[in-house]
Structure 1
Amino acid sequence: MAVPADPAIEEEEEEEHSGPTHHPSAPSHEFFDLSTTVDPSYIISLIRKLLPSDSASEEGDAPPSASAANGEHIESSMKKSENMDVDVSSEFSDRRRECQGRGDDGFGVRNSGVSVGEDPWEECGCVLWDLAASRTHAELMVENLILEVLLANLGVCNSMRVTEISIGIIGNLACHEVPMKHIVSTKGLIDTIVDKLFLDDPQGLCETCRLLTVGLQSGESITWAEALQSEHILCQILWIAENTLNLQLLEKSVGLILAILEGQAKVVDALLPPLMKLGLASILINLLTFEISKLTSERIPERYSVLDLILRAIEAISIIDDHSQEICSSEELFRLICDLVKFPDKVEVGNCCVTAGVLLANILSDVADHASEVSQDSCLLAGLLDIFPFASDDLEATNAIWNAIARILVRIRETEMSPPSVCNYVSVLVGRIDLIEDELLNQQESLSSPGSTADAINTSLRRIISILNQWTAAKENTESNGNAEVLVSEADINKLLNCCRKFLM
């Protein structure tokens, strides 16, 4: 049966499937309640075309008899529906052109594993991959045994492309609650998926990592975590992240690690200790070293999301008891984070700098000596202040940055410094008057409530006032000796002093 030709429906469907059909991304929340736009019989017909026995007969290369029997059993169990014969190529010709003949996938991988006989399977699979982004379609698919069909294919197929599509479909199905319960209850499916971590194919590995990430972020996360507990599985995840040159796969593998670190307590307790034992901390720091070197030398926007994920993973470990010290005590990590905080073009990597600011606060909290080390670095103070506009919607991040600023300011000994040294700090502060005032306005509610944030802000304001007063006294003394140099506007100093006194509680 053909897809309805109603123009409004076609437009709605086009919007729903706007992503590239050969590699659809996980559905966003707005997709969850889409109404059905495709006839159920059409979807069932597509599932039937994925049966291993069907594809084998088309290729003239029959799979093992057990698989064929399984395919026949699945087909007989499907809901009966009329008008099953659908001309997929005429309905989705554009989709077919995108799915087939990719050649080089943009990551240095040739996709030549799909034979001519597999084209109809790939064609139907790509359409189902897209349709699985809709909750209604996804639920219809699992009711009609698509998981059993895909499991049968994963068990007998040697095609990397078919494997990628199969895992991709399951990945989109997993984004919905009811299909996820079906995935977990389908015997052998999760173990089969986990086994695909050992594929020698970046695209298939990307989809596997994406699916495992969705599983760990779902209400069934404990089941998925149990499937990953084996040391050789965790070793493989780390090996992929550490060794892949495929940027997309690096992003997906680090995203999987982050899903573990940000998961439920039971997930973290089960998987983090063995991951740390296997060298997770050093691997993340090595990856961060490489990404920051790329950031400072080449400025490749496509790598910024990877940098952000790595930072978030490190930051997640830095607040977990029993493991934070291994992260916070790293001199290499501390240097890298300071460099990123001081990075001048924050517009390009604002989110990364926010995470770096939070991580710096965590490190300073764990290793007090570091605050003394950086108290002479006015550029670091400037970098922390410059992060505030990028963290305006993240109260926890701004609180952490204020704590870092306070820890640094209390270690500045302005009375023991030379006038030029004091001037450096004054220049940093008065040059950011508007930024400081805007941030204090955003924090008015925090200032009126006792707590660590109010304490950190008040401590910072007192220290800023003291530094400004010291500069004023030093300048007056210099003027009396006849060596006056106008380096900072007196009006700006007075404006910042008034601002600090206004908000000081």
Structure 2
Amino acid sequence: MDEEEEEGDEDEEDAPTHLPFAPAEEESLEETTTVDPSYTISLIRQLIPNGSSVEKEFSDKQGLPEERSVGRKDQLEECGCILWDLAASEPQAELMINNLVIEVLLENLRTANSSRVKEICLGIMGNLACHESVVAAISLKKGLIATVVEQLFLDDVKCLSETFRLLAAILRSSAFVSWAEALLPDEILSRILRIVGKTDNSTLLEKIIDFLSTVIDNRDVIAMLIQPLLKLGLVDRVIGLLTTELERSPDEKLDRSGSLDLVLHFMEELSVIHCVSKAMTSNDRLIKVLVNMIKSPDKVEVASYCASVVIVISNILTDGKHLVPMISRDLPFLEGLLEVLPEVPDDDQARYALWSILSRVLAQVQGTELNSLSLDRFASLFSGKFGLIKDDLESQVVDEEKLTPEDALLKGWISRCVSFKTIYTSCPSWKSRS
């Protein structure tokens, strides 16, 4: 988002950030479950907008609201933040739902001019949505889904972060269908992708990637949304995120140390989806970026960085066999790939992915007539890095009687690698160089 957009209105710039954690299933919530119900209800009262229709509805249900103090804005924020915390408790969430909290929050989202008020209301909803017992009541409230989706068009970073957190929580619940349908229009998905491409805020980046990962994890939701997202440029937006993080200065990278890993892990998730992987194979920009990351002399500094890149490349090659000849001729890439071996000894997924890439490369080289110079260069590289391969073999002893399908496949890849070493170190052109 633009710097001006991130700052928001001047009068809200110094507002304290209140980001309570979403409720954990096993978390002890004794303090919140023993709160006097009348206290919770009085807090909801303080959030009712003056003169709103919900004010009369609440009065009919609970009696006349208490007189409010002069510092309305401060009081609203204080009460809202307490409710935000209380909403992490399921009994409190149910009490709040039964006492018109959704109606109050919805009215504030519709009428409030303050971004801070909207952020608090969205935060409360986000915690409420974590409880399966109340998601149906939230989703069935007339006009609520459309109003929440409208918040995606705000330019306030904190509001957007809470909107994506709320959407992720809902899509993980049993009430996901109506919410996923509300996201289908092109203008909504385009706005989401625009935020992906523009955000420079690490918290918002975390929330939007969590939202998109939730979309991917739900088979029904991804079936509805993946083709529209691809059509609107999902792959290009994610590549933009990756290149932006790579191009940051060393100081910026230090401040945002988790952002690159976050983007790469999300690319892993995407590359597993067949139609996305297929789209990735035709994106020359992505292939170039990933190959250059493996070539980078700095890659071994972060093991998770190496693992994710290798996994993404391997997944792409599954649908992009036409790319194998190109990477087979790129000796600096192959050298970098072999240097990754010591960085992923305990990451089975990354290790399988790396051997899969090498296996495809070796098969390509063995099936291609190379001139003497090219062959010698390839054999020289391979022989020079064979110590890394030997160390990897010795560190991964496999019980022959307990071979998993993955282990059997890995054994086949290693055998091909070893046979290549034997063949080409014994060929005449190689001997002449020894």
Q: Which has the larger radius of gyration?
A: 1
Task: Tell me which of 81, 91, 96 is aligned to 1:141.
Answer: 96
**CA 1:128/1:65 → structure 2, altered by over 3 Å: closer, same or farther?**
closer
Verify the 8 A CA contact 2:339 2:388 in the aligned structure 1.
Answer: no
Task: Tell me which of 415, 431, 439 is aligned to 2:388.
Answer: 431
**TM-fit CA distance, 1:55:** 5.3
Task: For 2:386, give the aligned amino acid.
Answer: L
Aligned twin of 1:279: 233
Other structure's SS at 1:22 match:
coil
Aligned twin of 2:313: 360
**TM-fit CA distance, 1:345:** 4.0
Verify the 8 A CA contact 2:293 2:299 in the aligned structure 1.
Answer: no
Task: Tell me which of 284, 288, 294 is aligned to 1:335.
Answer: 288
Aligned twin of 2:417: 463
Q: Deviations over 1:272-317 (max 9, x none)?
A: 222222222222222222222227x656144344333433444444
1:129 and 2:84 matched: yes
- Spell out the pairing of 1:106-505 with structure 2 (5 A cutoff): 116-264=71-219, 266-294=220-248, 300-346=253-299, 349-385=302-338, 387=340, 395-413=348-366, 416=372, 417=374, 419=376, 421-438=378-395, 440-441=396-397, 444=399, 448-449=403-404, 451=405, 454-468=408-422, 470-471=424-425, 477-478=431-432
Identity level (%): 34
By relative contact order (CA 8 Å, sep 6+), the higher-ranking structure is 2
Other structure's SS at 2:18 match:
coil
**TM-fit CA distance, 1:203:** 0.5
Verify the 8 A CA contact 1:402 1:453 in the aligned structure 2.
Answer: no
Verify the 8 A CA contact 1:70 1:152 in the aligned structure 2.
Answer: no
Task: For 2:309, give the aligned amino acid.
Answer: A
Task: For 2:119, give the aligned amino acid.
Answer: E
Structure 1 runs not aligned, ≥5 long: 1-19, 57-61, 79-83, 86-114, 485-505
Provide the rounded CA distance (Å) in 2 between the counterparts of 1:21 and 1:384: 43
**TM-fit CA distance, 1:435:** 3.2
Provide the rounded CA distance (Å) in 2 between the counterparts of 1:372 and 1:276: 27
**CA 1:391/1:431 → structure 2, altered by over 3 Å: closer, same or farther?**
closer
Other structure's SS at 1:121 match:
helix
Provide the rounded CA distance (Å) in 1 between the counterparts of 2:377 and 2:52: 85
> 123-132 or 385-394, which moves further after superposition?
385-394
Structure 2 runs not aligned, ≥5 long: 1-15
Provide the rounded CA distance (Å) in 1 between the counterparts of 2:400 and 2:342: 18
- Spell out the pairing of 1:81-100 with structure 2 (5 A cutoff): none
Aligned twin of 1:488: none
**CA 1:287/1:41 → structure 2, altered by over 3 Å: closer, same or farther?**
closer
Q: Deviations over 1:397-420 (max 9, x none)?
A: 443332222111223359944545
Task: Tell me which of 50, 62, 70 is aligned to 1:75.
Answer: 62
Provide the rounded CA distance (Å) in 2 between the counterparts of 1:132 and 1:75: 20
Provide the rounded CA distance (Å) in 2 between the counterparts of 1:333 and 1:446: 41
Verify the 8 A CA contact 1:74 1:148 in the aligned structure 2.
Answer: no
Task: Tell me which of 36, 50, 58 is aligned to 1:63.
Answer: 50
Q: Deviations over 1:323-342 (max 9, x none)?
A: 43221111111111112234
Verify the 8 A CA contact 2:294 2:336 in the aligned structure 1.
Answer: yes
Aligned twin of 2:5: none
**TM-fit CA distance, 1:389:** 6.3
**TM-fit CA distance, 1:143:** 4.1
Q: Deviations over 1:338-388 (max 9, x none)?
A: 122344444654334322212111222222232222223344345445555
Other structure's SS at 1:27 match:
coil
Aligned twin of 2:44: 50
Task: For 2:280, give the aligned amino acid.
Answer: I
**CA 1:279/1:21 → structure 2, altered by over 3 Å: closer, same or farther?**
closer
User: TM-score of the superposition, structure 1-length normalised?
Assistant: 0.71
Verify the 8 A CA contact 1:385 1:436 in the aligned structure 2.
Answer: no
**CA 1:346/1:169 → structure 2, altered by over 3 Å: closer, same or farther?**
farther
Provide the rounded CA distance (Å) in 2 between the counterparts of 1:431 and 1:394: 16
**TM-fit CA distance, 1:477:** 3.8
Verify the 8 A CA contact 2:379 2:430 in the aligned structure 1.
Answer: no
Other structure's SS at 2:247 match:
helix
Aligned twin of 1:494: none
Provide the rounded CA distance (Å) in 2 between the counterparts of 1:241 and 1:116: 37
Provide the rounded CA distance (Å) in 2 between the counterparts of 1:445 and 1:136: 54
**TM-fit CA distance, 1:255:** 3.0
Other structure's SS at 1:411 match:
helix
Task: Tell me which of 19, 26, 44 is aligned to 2:22.
Answer: 26
Verify the 8 A CA contact 2:300 2:306 in the aligned structure 1.
Answer: no
Aligned twin of 2:7: none
Provide the rounded CA distance (Å) in 1 between the counterparts of 2:337 and 2:71: 58
Task: For 2:320, give the aligned amino acid.
Answer: V
Q: Deviations over 1:10-53 (max 9, x none)?
A: xxxxxxxxxx971223334442xx242246444642442333xx
Other structure's SS at 1:229 match:
coil
Provide the rounded CA distance (Å) in 2 between the counterparts of 1:236 and 1:380: 37
Verify the 8 A CA contact 1:151 1:189 in the aligned structure 2.
Answer: yes
Aligned twin of 2:30: 36
User: TM-score of the superposition, structure 2-length normalised?
Assistant: 0.81
**TM-fit CA distance, 1:430:** 0.8
Other structure's SS at 2:364 match:
coil
Task: For 2:210, give the aligned amino acid.
Answer: G
Q: Deviations over 1:239-276 (max 9, x none)?
A: 21122333322332233233223322x21121122222
Root-mean-square deviation (CA, aligned residues, Å) is 3.5
Provide the rounded CA distance (Å) in 1 between the counterparts of 2:299 and 2:180: 36
**CA 1:44/1:208 → structure 2, altered by over 3 Å: closer, same or farther?**
farther
Provide the rounded CA distance (Å) in 2 between the counterparts of 1:476 and 1:193: 67
